[in-house]
């Protein structure tokens, strides 16, 4: 039996655990210093901007495409496994273009996606008025509709992955911190033991999916991988009735502001609105700035004026794990080790890219 230990149970660690739990002859253990989905994952809006992304080649597009393909099978699979329906929005994403956007680039992308057997539609103002009358911004020039992109509640998704993985024999240890790697076991090439707050755990493979916690872990393996925080704030609001047509509630996005329909109760409809992107200038600015969230909120109201009637139910913030001086995400072996794999630094797209990450980890571990 091969022992794999995954450090971190955000969406990335949980997705990897579920993916690896399919492998016969592998014992998968997940360790997290908190409960599942308490890191960046708890703050995310779960918007999966895959087909609508401007990435068209290389690993960036390959990961987006395989994630969207995998989500289409994964979500029904999880629902069947845990016996509960998951809150995922299958009505797509509607992105608004403004004078500063290059519309030709979007037209080219729509054509490319069509050739790749995906769908992207370009709507003019009249089509928007008919299908999404809630969007009243005076300046938008067109809208891009991506019917095959989804949105999913990241915390509910992570909990479902944990439950389904547990059913398939994965062991989870929560409130357990990985403190270091047993120095005796560190030969420079291979690390076969982790030191945790509840004792040592033996491992044939170690997967570091610890988000912002990845840097100290890699430091203790003498190969520091720098992942820094980028703060994001968001809010949940409630309206007495849905925006626009109640039976067509896609994610609306414009100028990097997302309006995400979530639970509908009676006639009331809740939305998540966000998120800010706040780079730390110094330690103090890691605190959420009220003004930054207010700017996002006013931007959302400009897009959909009826939002001004909403009640704000709650606000929150989280820290996105962003690789320093290199593109996101980091999905590769830790340099110098033959059995430590990094699955971290997913920055703004961890929910989107978790399935593709899990597939890459699985391929790497099974090929070795
Ligand atoms: C406001 C906001 C909105 C976002 N919206 C989206 C979106 O719409 N779509 C999208 O795709 N992405 C979005 N993101 C980004 C997304 O949240 C992240 O990319 C993703 O959650 C990263 O997941 P993760 O599992 O790598 O990290 P995390 O969720 O941070 O999980 C890492 C885990 O590792 C654990 N850990 C760390 N160190 C240790 C240790 N030493 N021992 C044990 N456990 C440890 C932590 O406790 C934590 O649970 C958003 C982020 C924010 C903040």
Q: Which helix (H) or strand (E) holds 88?
A: strand 88-89
Whether the CB of 92 sits within 6 Å of ligand 1: no
The residue with greater pLDDT, 368 or 295, is 295
* CA–CA gap between residue 271 and residue 242 (Å, rounded): 9
Q: What is the mean pLDDT of residues 177-195?
A: 79
Probe residue for ligand 1, chosen from 13, 35, 40 as the CB with the greatest number of ligand atoms within 8 Å:
40
Is 68's C-beta closer than 6 angstroms to any atom of ligand 1? no
347 Cα nearest atom in ligand 1 = 19
Average pLDDT over the chain reads 95
Domain ranges of the chain: 1-87+151-226+324-368, 93-147+228-321
pLDDT in tens, 168-182: 999 999 999 999 886
Q: What's the rounded mean pLDDT across residues 129-148?
A: 96
pLDDT score at 158 = 98
Q: What is the dihedral of CA 60, 58, 72, 110, to 10 degrees?
A: 90
CATH top-level class for 93-147+228-321? Answer: alpha beta
Say what the pLDDT of residue 180 is.
83
316 pLDDT above the threshold of 80: yes
Note the pLDDT of residue 196: 94
Decide: 217 in ligand 1 pocket, CB within 6 A. Answer: yes
Convert 319-338 into a string of H (helix), E (strand) and C (coil): EEEEECCCCCCEEEECCCCC
Task: Quickly list H helices, the chain.
Answer: 11-20, 58-82, 103-115, 125-131, 154-167, 214-220, 290-303, 350-367
Say what the pLDDT of residue 188 is: 62
pLDDT at 281 over 90: no
Going across the sheet that includes 121-123, the strands are: 121-123, 142-146, 93-97, 251-254, 257-265, 268-274, 227-239, 311-323
Query: In the beta sheet, which residues pair with residue 315?
Result: 235
The span from the CA of 212 to the CA of 308, in Å, is 35
Share of the chain above pLDDT 70, in %: 97
Grade residue 284 by pLDDT with cuts at 50, 70 and 90. Answer: low
Mean pLDDT of 291-319: 97
| Residue 184 clears pLDDT 60, i.e. is over it | no
Residue written as token pair 């993916």: 19
What's the distance, CA 245 to chain centroid?
28
| Average of per-residue pLDDT across 25-33 | 98
> How high is the pLDDT of residue 187?
59
Average pLDDT over residues 124-130: 96
The C-alpha atoms of residue 139 and residue 97 are separated, in whole angstroms, by: 9
Residue 314's pLDDT is: 97
Class of domain 1-87+151-226+324-368: alpha beta
The CB of 231 under 6 Å from ligand 1? The reply is no
pLDDT at residue 185, rounded to an integer:
53
Flag whether pLDDT at 120 surpasses 90: yes
Instruction: For ligand 1, say whether the CB of 220 is within 6 Å of any of its atoms.
Output: no
CA of 321 to the centre of ligand 1 (A): 7
């Amino acid at each position: 039996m091969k022992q794999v230990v995954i450090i971190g149970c955000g969406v990335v660690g949980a997705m990897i655990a579920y993916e690896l739990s399919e492998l016969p002859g592998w014992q998968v253990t997940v360790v997290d210093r908190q409960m599942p989905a308490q890191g960046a994952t708890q703050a995310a809006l779960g918007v999966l901007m895959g087909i609508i992304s401007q990435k068209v080649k290389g690993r960036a597009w390959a990961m987006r495409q395989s994630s969207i393909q995998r989500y289409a099978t994964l979500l029904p699979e999880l629902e069947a496994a845990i016996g509960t329906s998951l809150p995922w929005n299958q009505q797509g994403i509607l992105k608004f273009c403004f004078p500063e956007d290059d519309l030709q680039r979007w037209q080219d992308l729509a054509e490319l996606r069509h050739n790749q057997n995906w769908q992207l539609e370009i709507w003019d103002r009249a089509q928007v008025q008919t299908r999404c009358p809630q969007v009243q911004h005076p300046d938008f020039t067109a809208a891009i509709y991506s019917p095959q992109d989804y949105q999913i509640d990241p915390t509910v998704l992570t909990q479902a992955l944990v439950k389904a993985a547990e059913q398939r024999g994965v062991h989870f240890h929560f409130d357990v911190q990985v403190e270091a790697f047993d120095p005796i076991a560190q030969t420079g090439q291979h690390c076969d033991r982790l030191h945790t707050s509840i004792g040592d755990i033996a491992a044939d493979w170690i997967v570091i999916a610890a988000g912002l916690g990845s840097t100290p872990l890699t430091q203790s393996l003498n190969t520091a991988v720098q992942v820094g925080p980028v703060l994001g704030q968001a809010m949940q609001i409630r309206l007495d009735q849905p925006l626009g047509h109640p039976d067509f509630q896609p994610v609306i996005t414009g100028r990097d502001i997302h309006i995400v329909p979530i639970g509908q109760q009676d006639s009331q409809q809740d939305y998540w609105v966000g998120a800010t992107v706040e780079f730390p200038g110094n330690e103090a600015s890691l605190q959420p700035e009220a003004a930054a969230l207010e700017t996002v909120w006013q931007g959302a109201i400009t897009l959909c004026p009826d939002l001004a009637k909403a009640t704000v139910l709650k606000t929150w913030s989280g820290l996105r794990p962003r690789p320093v001086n290199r593109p996101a995400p980091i999905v590769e072996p830790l340099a110098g080790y033959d059995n430590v794999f990094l699955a971290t630094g997913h920055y703004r797209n961890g929910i989107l890219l978790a399935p593709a990450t899990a597939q890459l980890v699985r391929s790497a571990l099974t090929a070795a």
